[in-house]
Amino acid sequence: MDDSLKTFLAIFLLETVTGLSSSIFTIISLSLAGFQRTNIVPLNMILMSLNISNVFFTVSNATFLFITILWPYFYSVSFLFYFLFYMATCTTTSSAWLTAILCFFYFMKIIPSRPGVLMDMKNKIGAIVWKLILMVGIFSLGGSFLSMLISLPKLNERNSTMNDIEILEENIKQQKKLINIIMMLNYLPLITVVVTTVASTWILKVYDGQMKKNSGTLVNTNVKGYRKAVHTMIGFLIFYVLLSITVIIISLDIFVSRSVGFCICSMVLLSFPTGQSTLLIYSNSGLKQILRKLFTLFTCRNSRE
């Protein structure tokens, strides 16, 4: 193993630890906030579900990438290959759909309160959040399982005389098909993020225009919070575009395993949970306050020592 590959593996490990730490921090913080209320508010319910999904996303994708780099011939072990790919597909789909729900939730809160269908949805969105999260879980598990069934029959049709190289090549072909299925499963969430982000940005500009007409007087006391929400949605959109491009590059086999290009794509993939957690902490004043207290406590403890 050359030095450059060792460097990339060290970066992958750092990204994995950072992604897990940031997601777990958010989960614990939201859980503690939930204990202070009778019911967990809908937004925190979405954020907790998203970060739990990101924990499994980090573990499954990191495991998949580490084994791919350290042991390329694991493709020839059908059971292990399909199990790891199932986990990666399921967690990626879950994170994508939960992010779409979060962006849709933000959009529902940002739109002005006017009589109509959107107003009815705005009033009901909080009550149906848990149902949407449950549907995401079922869809992610079921959709990923069906994607496995599409490819598994071909494995059973293999001739028993096939050697390891032929099995390896066949499994790589199946990987391309599975990645295409992943893109299909996550196409609608990406469209949802794009539409809600564009619409929310336009509504925010309308609010800003109304503020200017009123000589800087706030038209809505929530405009500052809306602005943070829109910035978070734009960040999600950028991350998901990068993630989609990365998955497409990997599926097209532009870079071979263990190459510099493949490792860079893997870095982008593993950076997603950390980036998403950072955006969520930025947009949530409660999480920022908890992080600030932890930083202050850590700094004071070090200064005493």
The one-letter code for the residue type at 106 is Y
Query: Which H, E and C letters describe 167-198, residue by residue?
Result: HHHHHHHHHHHHHHHHHHHCHHHHHHHHHHHH
Q: To which residue do tokens 């943070």 refer?
A: 228
Burial class (CB in 10 A: 0-12, 13-18, 19+), 272: buried
Average pLDDT over residues 68-72: 75
Window from 35-39, 75-79, 138-142 with minimum mean pLDDT: 35-39
The token pair at 75 is: 């493709």
- Distance (Å, rounded) from C-alpha 123 to C-alpha 266? 41
226-265 burial, b if ≥16 CB within 10 A, otherwise e? bbebbebbbbbbebbebbbebbebbbeeebeebeeebbeb
pLDDT at 130 over 50: yes
pLDDT at 159 over 50: no
Selected residue with higher pLDDT from 39 and 70: 70
In the prediction, which pLDDT does 1 show?
Answer: 57
Q: Is the dihedral of CA 215, 219, 224, 230 positive or negative?
A: negative
User: CA 92, 97, 101 angle in degrees (round to 5)?
Assistant: 150
In sequence order, which ranges of 36-158 are alpha helices (DSSP H)?
42-70, 78-110, 117-156
101: Cβ–Cβ under 8 A, 6 or more apart, which residues? 46, 129, 132, 133, 136
Give the number of C-alpha atoms closer than 13 A to the C-alpha of residue 198, restricted to the C-beta side: 5
Average pLDDT over residues 111-116: 73
- Distance (Å, rounded) from C-alpha 126 to C-alpha 108? 10
86: Cβ–Cβ under 8 A, 6 or more apart, which residues? 144, 145, 148
Q: pTM value?
A: 0.82
% of the chain beyond a pLDDT of 90 = 9
Average pLDDT over residues 97-103: 91
In the prediction, which pLDDT does 50 show?
Answer: 92
Q: Which of the four pLDDT bands, split at 50, 70 and 90, describes residue 52? A: very high
In the prediction, which pLDDT does 155 show?
Answer: 47
In the prediction, which pLDDT does 216 show?
Answer: 53
Q: Are 126 and 43 in contact (CB under 8 A)?
A: no
Tell me the pLDDT tens digit for each residue of 184-241. Answer: 767 788 888 999 999 988 988 887 777 667 655 545 556 777 888 888 889 888 888 8
What does each C-alpha distance from 130 to 29, 102, 235 come to in angstroms?
19, 12, 24
Q: To which residue do tokens 């059908």 refer?
A: 78
DSSP class of residue 77 equals -
In the prediction, which pLDDT does 101 show?
Answer: 92
In the prediction, which pLDDT does 162 show?
Answer: 54
SS3 content of the chain, % helix, strand, coil (to 5): 85, 0, 15
Average pLDDT over residues 172-178: 62
